[in-house]
A and B are shown apart, each in its own frame.
Chain A
Amino acid sequence: MTVITKKPENPIAHLTDADVEAIGAELDAIRQRVLDSRGASDAAYIRKVVKVQRGLELGSRAVLLGSAFPPAWVLGTVGLSVAKILENMEIGHNVMHGQWDWMRDPKIHSTTWEWDNASTAEGWKHSHNQVHHTYTNIVGKDNDLGYGIMRVDEDQRWHPMYLGQPLWNFLNACFFEYGIAAYDLELGKNLRVPKEKRSEEFRTGVRKTLRKIRGQATKDYVVHPLLSLPTGSFLPTLAANFTANLVRNVWSHSVIMCGHFPEGVETFERKAIPADETRGQWYVRQMLGSANISGSKAMHLMTGNLSHQIEHHLFPDLPSNRYAEVAPQVKDLFERYGLRYHEAPLPQQVASAWHKVVRLSLPNGWLEETTVKNAPQQLAKLWKMTTGGPKVRRAIEARARQEARRAAQAEPVRAA
Chain B
Amino acid sequence: MTTTADRPAAVAPRVGAPDPSRRPLARRLAERVPPTVSRRAWRLAELAVTPLVPADYLDLVSPLRAGADLRGRIEEITHETADAATVVIRPGADWQGHVPGQYLRLGIDVDGVRHWRAYSLTHGPRADGRISITVKAVPDGVVSTHLVREARPGTLVHLEQAAGEFVLPVEGGRFLFVTAGSGITPVIGMLRNLFPSTDEGVLRPERSAVHDVVVVHVAPTRPDSIFIRDLEALDAAGAIRLVARYDDQHGLLDVDRLDELVPDLAERRTLACGPAGLLDALAAHHEARGLELVTEQFRTARVEAGEGGTVTFADGTVVEADGATPILDAAEAEGVLMPSGCRMGICFGCVLPMTSGAVRDLRNGAVTTAVPGETNPDGVPVQTCVSAPAGACEIAH
Contact = CB atoms under 8 A, between A and B. Distances in A.
Given A39-B111, A110-B348, A133 B342 contact: yes
Interface residues of A, number: 48
A244 to B, nearest CB: 15
B348 A317 contact: yes
Contacts of A54: 52, 56-57, 60
Interface stretch (A8-16, A97-105, A262-270, A353-361): A97-105
Interface stretch (B29-37, B186-194, B214-222, B375-383): B375-383
Interface string A49-78: 001001100100100000000000000000
Closest 10 CB pairs of A and B: A43-B112, A98-B348, A129-B347, A114-B51, A130-B341, A130-B347, A104-B114, A134-B342, A39-B111, A215-B50
A60 B349 CA distance: 34
Contacts of B363: 28
B342 A40 contact: no
Nearest to A216: B50
Nearest to A55: B60
A131 to B, nearest CB: 8
A282 B363 CA distance: 14
A133 B347 contact: yes
Contact of B364 (A32, A103, A116, A219): A32
A38 B112 contact: yes
Contact of A223 (B48, B114, B347): B48
Contacts of B115: 104
A116 B51 CA distance: 6
Contacts of A317: 345-346, 348
A224 B115 CA distance: 39
A32 B363 CA distance: 10
A205 interface: no
8 contacts: A28-B364, A111-B381, A125-B348, A129-B342, A130-B341, A133-B346, A223-B48, A282-B344
B69 to A, nearest CB: 9
Contacts of B26: none
Contacts of A105: 109, 114
Interface string A313-346: 0001100000000000000000000000000000
B157 to A, nearest CB: 13
Interface of A: 28, 32, 35, 38-44, 51, 54-55, 58, 61, 96-98, 101-107, 109-111, 114-116, 125-126, 129-130, 133-134, 212, 215-216, 218-219, 223-224, 227, 282, 316-317
B329 to A, nearest CB: 15
Chain B contact residues: over half helix, strand or loop, or mixed? Answer: loop
Candidate in A41, A111, A212 with the most chain B CB atoms within 10 angstroms = A111
Contacts of B346: 129, 133-134, 316-317
A219 B51 CA distance: 9
B314 interface: no
A40 B114 CA distance: 10
A240 to B, nearest CB: 15
B51 A115 contact: yes
Contacts of A114: 51-52
Contacts of A28: 363-364
A234 B342 CA distance: 46
B381 A219 contact: no
B47 A215 contact: yes
B44 to A, nearest CB: 7
Given A98-B348, A104-B376, A129-B347, A227 B60 contact: no
A219 B342 contact: no
B348 A103 contact: no
Interface string B349-369: 101000000000001101000
A89 to B, nearest CB: 16
B370 to A, nearest CB: 11
A28 B113 CA distance: 22
B144 to A, nearest CB: 18
B281 interface: no
Given A38-B112, A39-B111, A104-B114, A110 B351 contact: yes
Given A43-B109, A129-B342, A227 B347 contact: no
